[in-house]
Amino acid sequence: MVKRLRSGTSQLTSAALARLDSELAWYRALQAEDRSWIGLVAQAGIASFIAWYENPERGTSNAAEIFRAAPPELTRSISLQHTLQLVRIVVEIVEEHTETLATPADRSALREAVLLYSREVAFSAAEVYARAAESRGAWDARLEALVVDSLLRGEADEGLRSRVAALGWAGRGNTIVLVGSVEPHLDDVSSAELRRAARRASSDALVGIQGDRLVVVLGGEGNLRAQAEALLDRFGPGPVVIGPQVRSLADAGRSARAALSGLVAVTAWPSAPRPVLADELLPERMLIGDVDARRTLLSEVYAPLLGVGGHLLETLSAYLSEGRSLEATARQLFVHPNTVRYRLKRITTVTGWDPTDAREGFVLQIALAAGRLDAAGPHSDSGRL
């Protein structure tokens, strides 16, 4: 029986490759070199079966040994599903040839041996791919941590693009960064589930766990803020800060800096919502010396008011100094209260912040103070109030 099997090895291999070419589109799509390697694998599998059939104790059903005939790169070209299809077709070919390879008395035993061997090879192949996936998962987690760390430090060099591409970052749409605390007792299983949840929430996602701090980078063309809010329950207790939306991952450092600064400054606003936007924390961020926050207040709040005309700044200053009283402000400016109302609405339109709201009025007040200090004399961007 063993002699018959050995003499029919070439016939079985040719029949298996012909079946692969006729039934499997992925095999036909492979490059010629990869197809030749699969031919060697099929031949090695049949030879291994014959050796195992002759002596089960000395033979092997280890898929790693069978694939040793091909380079390691082949596992990147074919998946576990493809490997199992290959095993199935080889088994079917051997079964089909039992009529010519075995005597009537041996055919049943040969079929059983083929089924037993193919089962062992299939389980072994699954184990090989599982180990490879586990190893790649650990490597991806380390690479992901390095990428997130680079973004936080503002090191968006040319190598960043290739690293994020290896992690599956498509790079379509905008990007935001959100930071918060890590969920207590976060283990490897919980970390993996966290990453899967982030990738379900957004088309692009990166997760960085830095001690007790969790950093999530989201990208895509949808509503990124809503996608970020869907991940709130994945954070630990305490505030979660969302950085401003930027156009690409290369600019994510700006969003990350704002979010991290907001995470430090949010303690000055005990009633802050969860999550809170970093741009909602501009006053607190400025008070801790955040240069970007100071620049934003000057460029997006004070400068537009100054550009419209002094009457809006004058009205805002009087309104805030008079305890936000329309009548007191009108008396100080010698105008009608309706004029004050109109100007306050204009301030809201120009800046996007409503002076009649307690919180937004505070933002305007800090912006007004920053603008006055800036106008009083030269200040470097690194200076503190």
- Averages of pLDDT over each 10 residues, the chain, 385 residues: 78 83 85 81 78 71 60 64 75 76 77 78 68 58 75 69 74 90 81 84 87 90 90 93 90 91 95 95 95 94 89 94 93 94 95 94 94 75 44
Domain end residue (candidates: 267, 283, 299): 283
Same domain assignment for residues 278 and 332? no
* pLDDT (0 to 100) of residue 232: 92
Same domain assignment for residues 11 and 119? yes
Task: Say which residues have a Cβ less than 8 Å from residue 87's Cβ, sequence separation at least 6.
Answer: 45, 118, 121, 122, 125
Look at phi and psi of residue 173 and say left if phi exceeds 0, alpha if psi is from -120 to 50, else beta. left
Structural domain including 301 reads 289-376
Q: How many domains does the chain have?
A: 3
Q: Where are the alpha helices (DSSP H) in the chain?
A: 2-7, 9-23, 25-29, 32-54, 63-67, 74-77, 80-96, 98-101, 107-152, 158-166, 188-201, 224-229, 252-265, 282-287, 291-297, 303-308, 310-321, 326-333, 337-351, 358-376
Instruction: Please report whether residue 142 resides in a domain.
Output: no
* pLDDT (0 to 100) of residue 380: 46
Instruction: Please report whether residue 12 resides in a domain.
Output: yes
Domain end residue (candidates: 283, 306, 326): 283
Same domain assignment for residues 183 and 211? yes
* pLDDT (0 to 100) of residue 92: 79
Q: What's the predicted TM-score (pTM) here?
A: 0.64
Same domain assignment for residues 65 and 164? no
| CA-to-CA dists, residue 225 to 58, 256, 384, angstroms | 61, 14, 31
* pLDDT (0 to 100) of residue 73: 60
Domain end residue (candidates: 249, 264, 283): 283
* pLDDT (0 to 100) of residue 383: 46
